[in-house]
Structure 1
């Protein structure tokens, strides 16, 4: 006999539904490619350029839905294009040249991304992050700030913000920086106030701290070129599509007034808009002090790493004319290996670094291929015709708003950058009178702050969203509010500032 309570239990979904969804996601990139390949070639575009775009679009869809790791998706796209080069990569004129060795040229193009300096800079910066983790230097810096600023909830919010700010210039992954270093520390703080996850007590202080942490990660990700991996990809795409170089110092200076304003006011804004119930607590600084005692004095490796990363920062800012930034990063990696800060096993076993290295390299090559086959030039011409008569300022604002708000459709800043940045840059370049250096800076410096708008907008977002301290409705509401604040700050403060100094 079935009990009444059992009669009300909803039937479990059929197990085949989950498998069917996975199958659809797995086949989706191939379906997109086939759909575009059978679509008539647009007027004015070469067939091989359209076919290349079909493969590129399939790769982007694959990166968005990730039926396989990003590196596998990128490598698949490169291999397909290189093997079927006569239909995808080369023009009829190139193929008609008897001196043109298609197989050799296709291979050179396929591996061209692996010689890109930005890709090696990303790899080197991942090694810096490994050094922070292995030596405990990142944890120590965060605890010091908590020790001195953690008595009040508001100053604790500033401590979290400044901890992220200190780590950001040297950590290309905001997931590693915020999710791997900041979050493990602040997750220990709410219980000291009796604030528990998935409980009404979360609002005592836990909700406030988690929101400040994810917001700080987004701000610092825009503030420094080296604070977010897609920033470095964006730099390579800007160079490839419109031929403009953006240095570390220029990026930092362009975002400086917006960054300072947001860093200084954001913990206070969160304190007003999402206030903690507990304002003061004496236990937090004591806890941080006890954790620092457990760490003991700075180790030899911590001191060495601190010196190395400071040297790298100085070279990135002041010595770019004499030493390539990627080479400066590799120099520091070599020094870490020779001094024992990292071992060779630390290098070879760093799966995230190698995974990022592989798919960044393939994406750089694929983005370069769009320009190589003439697709970018055609897109620019078509966009220029559509936007004829629009003033440069209005066009700049319209394209920027579209680029920013379309992030709602992406669960990856990298996929967003790869899919939209080349197209937006091309459209902007086709508009007479638009200030391309300023337009490029406006777009690329928005990549970090736009991550705040959704619970999946940037790497650390799912970590804080899943902490139990940020309910779904609160996250979406606050994401919209802070997303608008960040957007307006960049438009009404950053944009005029960039026009004035550059």
Structure 2
């Protein structure tokens, strides 16, 4: 008999099998983490349904970190699972027993509540602004102008983006509007000029660096000015009602000034070192940009219309926020772009990145809101107060700031974070003998902007830059941890001593 030999498995097949196994493990990991937490005994003083909700919430966050499926799928899965099990996960026995309470309708209302959030719609509007910049080539024109004068070095482009945000920040009380409506649509046109494409290995040529600089700049300027972030204004009201302190625009600015100036001047360079672009110097690109600008010629009708619309949006965001919600202002501009032909309805429906981010962030908003609804955040604040009893004011200040900062991992917006945690932190601090409340308050409120850097969902602009395709999930979480630690260290080592001298 002739000896038969079995064919050896190909390396490609083995690699594919290993990749499939790894993906299955990543898909199982969020479920395993949630189940393990569900098996942990419920902490004293916390309703069982709140702990069970927290277990599923952590499972969703683990899924978002490892992303075995798109973030929108993970978010929708979490919302649907909790809504279906809402009798045991979302509502208290008292709510369930209340006359007229309809479990099915209330569960559904909670599941879709994130889709009515104004920040979610503002982010969606920002993507439509970017589409307008792209279709009319106005964004390309602005990008070419930037490249012509500053494009020889990647580092100078990083500083140009940072200073552009710094100039707009004092007058734009929404960092989502500022970043998504003005900064992002322009800089999204820069990477392709260097052959850097989204969701592609070439993204590291320069696109990844520029997008990371932009989101870090947005976070820094949001802390630097009282008027640069909507939750800052909310914090102002909460501080006054909780501890009776008034914060002025100038006092806020001076309190954060040393940290703000230092971070603004060093952040593009830090990003250049820690997340370096492959293209550092290119003498030919600025010359090429000059030739391309000549080819574009004069502003087209659609470009002029878009410029007018963007200026109107900025005016509404800066001066008319009391009369028109920033998200509604953005939607108004989108409608005007549709009526004037700047965008078509096909441009809206075909924008996959916009719809993906819209669903992803809306589900996260609902999930984060559930932590407050179930009473988990209130219990956390109460337990924190118990732990703080009997310690020195200095240790208490640092401990509470660390807790306030790191608990932002549980929130999909600075507004929700401020609403849920700031009053609790202020109440805890006010019970500690010898606590300098002015210093403590300023540390808390000026941290609201910079803490947004730690996650891809931590502040309004985060999903925009994360959804650009230039910042892979693992890079975003890694850089968020590094820069989040740098910003926290700056608050503790520079802002804290400075504020102690001021107040």
Same fold (TM over 0.5): yes
Q: 1:319 maps to which residue?
A: 320
| Gap change, CA 1:357 and 1:390, over 3 Å in 2 | farther
Q: 1:340 maps to which residue?
A: 341
1:181 to 185, 189, 193: 189
| 8 Å Cα contact 1:160/1:182 also seen in 2 | no
| Gap change, CA 1:482 and 1:94, over 3 Å in 2 | closer
Shift of 1:393: 5.6
1:428 to 425, 437, 440: 425
| Gap change, CA 1:402 and 1:297, over 3 Å in 2 | farther
Q: Does 1:222 align with 2:244?
A: no
Shift of 1:322: 1.0
| Gap change, CA 1:236 and 1:130, over 3 Å in 2 | farther
1:36-84 CA-to-partner distances (Å, cap 9, x unmatched) read 2232221111111111112212211111111222222222222222222
| 8 Å Cα contact 2:161/2:183 also seen in 1 | no
Shift of 1:237: 12
Give me the whole-angstrom Cα distance separating, in 2, the residues matched to 1:100 and 1:498: 49
Shift of 1:182: 2.5
Give me the whole-angstrom Cα distance separating, in 1, the residues matched to 2:229 and 2:472: 26
Shift of 1:25: 0.9
Q: 1:30 maps to which residue?
A: 31
| 8 Å Cα contact 2:143/2:186 also seen in 1 | no
| 8 Å Cα contact 2:56/2:78 also seen in 1 | yes
| Gap change, CA 1:335 and 1:385, over 3 Å in 2 | same
SS at match of 2:214: helix
SS at match of 1:172: helix
Q: 1:367 maps to which residue?
A: 368
Q: 1:72 maps to which residue?
A: 73
Shift of 1:483: 7.3
Gaps of 5+ in 1: 1-9, 189-196, 199-205, 452-456, 467-471
Shift of 1:343: 0.9
Q: Does 1:442 align with 2:447?
A: yes
| Gap change, CA 1:497 and 1:423, over 3 Å in 2 | same
Q: Does 1:309 align with 2:310?
A: yes
Shift of 1:23: 1.0
| 8 Å Cα contact 2:316/2:329 also seen in 1 | yes
Shift of 1:442: 0.6
Shift of 1:390: 4.3
Give me the whole-angstrom Cα distance separating, in 2, the residues matched to 1:461 and 1:395: 40
| Gap change, CA 1:11 and 1:379, over 3 Å in 2 | same
Give me the whole-angstrom Cα distance separating, in 1, the residues matched to 2:311 and 2:46: 49
Give me the whole-angstrom Cα distance separating, in 1, the residues matched to 2:128 and 2:63: 27
TM-score norm. by structure 1 comes to 0.70
Give me the whole-angstrom Cα distance separating, in 2, the residues matched to 1:210 and 1:93: 52
Q: Which moved more, 1:63-72 or 1:209-218?
A: 209-218
TM-score norm. by structure 2 comes to 0.70
Give me the whole-angstrom Cα distance separating, in 1, the residues matched to 2:107 and 2:276: 58
1:384-433 CA-to-partner distances (Å, cap 9, x unmatched) read 212334456644544555777899xx9xx988989999997687356323
Q: 2:355 maps to which residue?
A: 354
